[in-house]
């Protein structure tokens, strides 16, 4: 099966980052479905969640697949000028990230969009991210992902039971 070479893959290739393709037989719209399809543990999945404040500034919060983003912790990490955070809508997600909803990767964000990774993501040597294509995930070294994403580590998640 041939896959589209996505912008995310081009960025990784340009940085010399090795990754494995994790094809989907159908689009997966939940972490559980994506983990099952990719054959990876849910906690190694990276959920990339675009948030916006009242002044329409955006931040990408990345948490493990078995966690939930803590909006207050994200805001606290960003500083006092950020107002109430809410989840971006589908149109904003595509406009800001260049990826469709459900296939957002924490790579290639605009310079004015901070990328925050929950510290728990560093517990895993390898992680799984979206590729920018609903039919394909990628697995790569967590340290390389953190570097290429220009991400900052913080405690921004709560565990899901």
Q: Are 130 and 102 in contact (CB under 8 A)?
A: yes
Q: What is the pLDDT of residue 144?
A: 96
- Model confidence pLDDT, tens digit, residues 12-65: 999 999 999 999 888 887 888 889 999 999 999 999 999 999 999 999 999 999
- Model confidence pLDDT, tens digit, residues 105-158: 999 999 999 999 999 999 999 999 999 998 999 999 999 999 999 999 999 999
Q: What is the pLDDT of residue 11?
A: 96
- Work out whether strand 152-154 and strand 115-118 pair parallel, antiparallel, or are unpaired: parallel
pLDDT at 1 over 90: no
Residues facing residue 91 across a β-bridge: none
Measured CA to CA, the distance from residue 159 to residue 7 in angstroms comes to: 31
Cβ neighbours of residue 7 closer than 8 Å, sequence gap 6 or more? 98, 108, 132
Pick the CATH number of 7-159 from 3.20.20.140, 3.40.50.720, 3.90.960.10, 3.40.50.1110: 3.90.960.10
Q: Supply the pTM of this predicted model.
A: 0.93
pLDDT at 2 over 70: no
pLDDT class of 91 with cuts at 50, 70, 90? very high
Instruction: Print burial letters for 53-63: b (CB count within 10 Å at least 16), e (below 16).
Output: beeebbbbbbb
Give, rounded to a whole angstrom, the gap between the first and last alpha carbons of the chain: 36
């Amino acid at each position: 099966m041939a896959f589209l070479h996505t912008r995310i893959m081009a960025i990784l290739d340009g940085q010399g980052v090795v990754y494995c393709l994790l094809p989907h037989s159908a689009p997966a719209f939940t972490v559980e479905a994506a983990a099952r399809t990719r054959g990876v543990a849910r906690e190694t999945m990276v959920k990339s969640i675009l948030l916006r404040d009242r002044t329409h500034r955006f931040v990408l919060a990345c948490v493990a697949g078995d966690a939930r983003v803590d909006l207050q912790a994200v805001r606290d990490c960003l500083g006092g000028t950020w107002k109430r955070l809410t989840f971006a809508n589908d149109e904003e997600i595509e406009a800001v990230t260049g990826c469709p909803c459900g296939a957002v990767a924490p790579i290639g964000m605009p310079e004015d969009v901070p990328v925050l990774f929950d510290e728990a993501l560093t517990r895993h040597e390898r992680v799984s991210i979206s590729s920018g294509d609903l039919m394909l995930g990628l697995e790569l070294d967590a340290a390389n992902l953190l570097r290429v994403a220009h991400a900052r580590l913080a405690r921004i998640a709560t565990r899901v039971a």
